[in-house]
Amino acid sequence: MSAHKIPARIYYLIFATLLLLTMITVEVAFYDIGILSFPVALGIACFKSTLVILYFMHVRYGTGLTGLFVSAGFIFLAILMVFTLMDLNTRDWQVQPDESGISLAAPFDHGYGIGKQLR
Amino acid sequence: MSNTVAAASRPEPDNNYLTAGYGLKSWLLTTDHKRIAILYLIMISVFFVIGGLFAVLIRLELLTPAGDLVSSDTYNKLFTLHGLVMIFFFLIPSIPAVMGNFLIPLMIGARDLAFPRINLLSWYVFAIGGMTTFAVVLFGGVDTGWTFYTPYSSTYSKTAVGLTAIGVFITGFSSILTGLNFVVTIHKMRAPGLTWFRLPLFVWAHYATSLIMLIGTPVVAITILLVFLERVFGVGIFDPALGGDPVLFQHLFWFYSHPAVYIMILPSMGVISEVVACFSRKRIFGYGFVAFSSLAIAVLGFLIWGHHMFTSGQSIFAGMVFSILTMLVAIPSAVKVFNWTATMYKGSISYETPMIYVFGFLGLFTVGGLTGLFLGALGLDVHVHDTYFVVAHFHYIMVGGAIMGYLAALHFWWPKITGKLYSEAWAKLSAIIIFIGFNLTFFPQFLVGYLGMPRRYHVYPDEFQIFQVLSTAGASILAIGYAFPAFYLTWSLFRGKAAPANPWNAKGLEWTVPSPPPKHNFDTIPVVEEEAYDYSRLEEEVV
């Protein structure tokens, strides 16, 4: 990997792209684009970090194993976020008692198709 | 690997890593993985004694229902420091940093780890982190519990949380560097012929452990840093008044800290595989399953952290998902226990000291693991959450499992590490005392916890006293058991008989070099031509 000769112009190109994207991020912040402002800022940031990982950290020129380890980091980050958001987004799914005992009722009726009662 | 023995020309036994250089500088600037392992051994032994002293004070306080030895504030600091020291500065580095550092290059036929300087750096980082955390004692201690739960840690505690956070944050980097070194070494530096499925299971276990270290440790480091920032700058990550969420801390903390349990137990499981095979004179039953079960534990360990949070305000749906997933991790753990037992079946078992510790491990880990399933069950956990039941379960895994494995490793490889034999009689006696003392200490805690006594209280109702007295009595016996090895192992350094290269007649590349090993391990890199644990071939050769 380290033996791979990368032309200097690639580094300059990536550096210029990163600067450009930074300027776009700042510029976009001055416009009211509603709910898009968060995904746009995040999208640019993700793209920039991808460039850094691929070129400045040489992952693009590394072995498949290096790529696997880098991917693993993101997969486990996704696990962290998905499970944490799973908690956050289901906190209003309350336990509701009915005449026959305790049941998890209302929350499961709304779009998830899990059935009315889980005893 | 017998063919490899001849292939590896043996240097003069006198030219070993212990005599390769003298003076403090030769140790403090060494990049030899074996010397760094010894540095870790000394440091974690000191931390074990310090953590043990905190435990002694806790147990003495709990002898009576009244808070008559220390104040409630001091008691809070005692159990916090006990947990911090034992987890971050003893259990997590114990087997990987000492045994892993020493043995992995020897086991895979390498002359050192992939990054020797980074290895030394990891020890210095560990030392700095340890000293920083220990300096907390001078600043009045810390009382948050080792879990640093917010909002108490981030907003209300008046103790030295910030300094503790910095200490733990620094120490995390030591763990990351060690894990990185192991992963690269295992991938890149295996001897010719040493394929993945010829690797000792100790190496497999450390590979899985290293993955957890690499993936999980950054998360806890950042989380603890966030607590620090919250305290100093009030950034509001965990403060609801500023839009934060205290339960988010628990998610981030347990994302690492549950897998951290496997950082502590997986290396121990690797040790058990080595010792069981050696003293049963058999290949590990279901080698592939045991190897992959380590990876399965490492991966599944990241999916189940929410079982620590059933009563935290986490949603019931999330609790159900985490509860179900928790049951899954029992499968690879059980695979290991069943396969070790199957390995012993019809084996030629001998009862040397390391094997005594293995028997202790098997019983105690099974009890600890099964009570873990109780705690993973959403309904039951609500009743025993934050009681002594949890304390007992945790110690059955960590002390009964991880430390039993550590002691098995220390006794199994002590002749290799030091070149000296210890007294088997004293060692066996010590192992039995530890087993008895441990059970007397922690089994009553299952009962008192099930009866409803909460953890982390130094004043309690009179009816619980009998259990606490039994527990303190057991702790006294346990302390004696732990003190024994300090004496007979130290004695062996000066008066012990010289150890041969292979005192247990064991398989593995580490046993093909003299005891203690030469500075560069192997003059010529060995070529491996047989499976791991091929004891049947060894027995035929002996015949």
Give the pLDDT score at B21: 86
Give the pLDDT score at B130: 95
B61-102 tens-digit pLDDT: 999 999 999 999 999 999 999 999 999 999 999 999 999 999
Give the pLDDT score at B429: 97
Give the pLDDT score at A119: 35
Show the DSSP H helices in B309-464 as ranges. 316-344, 353-376, 378-384, 388-397, 404-418, 424-450
Q: Residue A83 and residue B318: Cβ atoms within 8 Å?
A: yes
Chain A nearest-CA distance from B310, in A, is 11
Distance CA B36, CA A42 (A): 43
Q: Where are the domains of chain B?
A: 2-13+22-542
CB pairs under 8 A between A and B: 54
B159-175 tens-digit pLDDT: 999 999 999 999 999 99
Query: What contacts B134, CB < 8 A, 6 or more positions away?
Result: B50, B85, B167
B437 pLDDT higher than 50: yes
Distance CA B49, CA B55 (A): 10
Q: Residue A80 and residue B252: Cβ atoms within 8 Å?
A: yes
B384-422 tens-digit pLDDT: 999 999 999 999 999 999 999 999 999 999 999 999 999
B538 pLDDT higher than 70: no
B431 pLDDT higher than 80: yes
Chain B residues 189-218 within an 8 A CB cutoff of chain A:
211, 214-216
B120 compared with B539, residue with greater pLDDT: B120
Give the pLDDT score at A116: 39
Average pLDDT across chain A, whole number: 82
Q: Residue A87 and residue B316: Cβ atoms within 8 Å?
A: no
In percent, the amount of chain B with pLDDT more than 90 equals 91
Residues of B in contact with A118 (CB under 8 A): 320
Distance CA B47, CA B41 (A): 10
DSSP character string of B183-244: HHHHHH-PPTT--GGGS-HHHHHHHHHHHHHHHHHHHHHHHHHHHHHHHHH---SS-GGGT-
Q: Residue A84 and residue B187: Cβ atoms within 8 Å?
A: no
In percent, the amount of chain B with pLDDT more than 70 equals 96
Q: Residue B321 and residue A93: Cβ atoms within 8 Å?
A: no
Give the pLDDT score at B9: 47
Distance CA B204, CA B210 (A): 10
For residue A91, the tally of other CB atoms under 10 A from its CB is: 14
Residues of B in contact with A76 (CB under 8 A): 215-216, 302
B539 pLDDT higher than 90: no
Q: Domain B2-13+22-542, what fold?
A: Cytochrome C Oxidase; Chain A (1.20.210)
Average pLDDT across chain B, whole number: 93
**Of the partner residues B216, B219, B316, the one whose CB lies closest to the CB of residue A95:** B316
Q: Residue A86 and residue B317: Cβ atoms within 8 Å?
A: yes
**pLDDT band of B536, cuts 50, 70, 90:** confident
Q: Where are the domains of chain A?
A: 1-62, 64-119
A102 pLDDT higher than 80: no
